[in-house]
Structure 1
Amino acid sequence: MRKFIAARKRQLIAFVVAILVIVGIIGGLWITNVFGWRQWRVQEAQGFIGASLPQSAADVRFTTRNQYTRIVWLRFSLPPNADLIPFLTQMGITDALKTGFTPFPAANPQEAAITWWQPIASKVFSGVYWNTGAKVIEILLDKTDGSQPVVYLRAYALGKT
């Protein structure tokens, strides 16, 4: 009988420890999400902007910040004949890209640390600024290198997210 009680006691202790470990992991993940410590994935950035990247998108880079509001910077290249209209339509953008327009007219000090974010260096470009009411989406299509156009997208929520 004593062996039976000892075995049951070990099983109960193992069960309690397992529950505590699971609760600790779930709590840790929840805390990192609440305080914004966990890095976003590309899929979450796509969810935030409301569109999947074009199938032909290559060299995809993105980063995000959540200091005052959620901001996403996204950059990807496309083949020269790629159609960007379905991508824009998914985000609800109905305006066409305007030749010679940039939503990024000056360098932003907050973006200086993002080495791959260089829309200011574009020479041949078109762009659009779109306010959905809940967020702002700014897109620049850089055609400086006609063999590999680059899309720069910055989106930010209007208000804390």
Structure 2
Amino acid sequence: METDANSRTDDPIDGLSDTLTPDEVVSFIGHPFPDSATNLQMAGEAALDTLTIARFDLPEADLQPYLADLGVTAPLTEGYAAAGSASPTSDSDAWWQPPAIGSEGDYRGVYQQIEGKSYNITVVDSGTPDIVTVFLQVFTT
């Protein structure tokens, strides 16, 4: 039986990455999300490297304690978009929409390496007073 190049089922890339479960995403990130986090979305893939992303809303007062729990010691920088804006998984297209790196806007971010992992965090105004939207990207390099 012949197949055309667009319908091949023996793609050598197929199966090289594994989709992470929500528990595996949390475990890889290194700390559970705060109880006060709402509208939580997350995804992750593991292959040669592991990549996890999460988007959630959080009371501003809970942001710094959560960052400290992750081990983030660097300050958030105004106007710095740390999390990449390209959706790393097709399942996350609808909810993974942080500001584009280098774009103008009212957001802040931080990049820090912690115990062999890279943490990219961008924080934006959620539109609700005292609530921020957090875009968290954690990956191995």
Gaps of 5+ in 2: 1-15
User: How big is the shift at 1:109?
Assistant: 6.1
- Deviation of 1:44 after TM superposition, in Å, equals 2.6
CA 1:55 to 1:133, structure 2 compared with 1: closer, same or farther past 3 Å?
closer
8 Å contact kept, 1:138–1:155 = yes
Higher strand proportion: 2
Aligned alpha-carbon RMSD (Å): 2.5
Q: Distance in 2 between matches of 1:46 and 1:65?
A: 12
**Aligned partners of 2:120, 2:19: CA distance in 1, in Å?**
25
Offset, 1:66 = 1.7
1-structure distance, mates of 2:134, 2:87: 20
Q: CA deviation at 1:113?
A: 5.4
Normalised TM-score (structure 2): 0.72
**1:108 corresponding residue in structure 2:** 86
Q: How does 1:89-108 map to 2 (within 5 A)?
A: 89-104=68-83, 107-108=85-86
The alignment covers a number of residue pairs equal to: 121
Unmatched 5+ residue regions in structure 1?
Answer: 1-34
* Matched residue, 2:137: 154
Among 20, 23, 28, the residue aligned to 1:48:
28
1:83 Cα offset (Å): 2.4
Do residues 143 (structure 1) and 121 (structure 2) align? no
Higher CA-based Rg: 1
Contact 2:18–2:47 (CA<8 Å) still a contact in 1? Answer: no
Q: Distance in 2 between matches of 1:46 and 1:113?
A: 17
Q: Which amino acid aligns with 1:82?
A: A
Q: Which structure shows the higher helix fraction?
A: 1
Quote the residue 2:50 is aligned against: 70
CA distance in 1, matches of 2:33, 2:87: 27
1:127 alignment partner AA: G
The whole-number CA distance in structure 2 between the counterparts of 1:156 and 1:54 is 20
Displacement, 1:68? Answer: 3.2
Q: Counterpart in 2 of 1:88? A: 67
The letter of the residue matching 1:88 is: L
The 1:146–1:123 alpha-carbon spacing in structure 2 relative to 1, beyond 3 Å, is farther
Counterpart-to-counterpart distance in 1, 2:96 and 2:18? 22
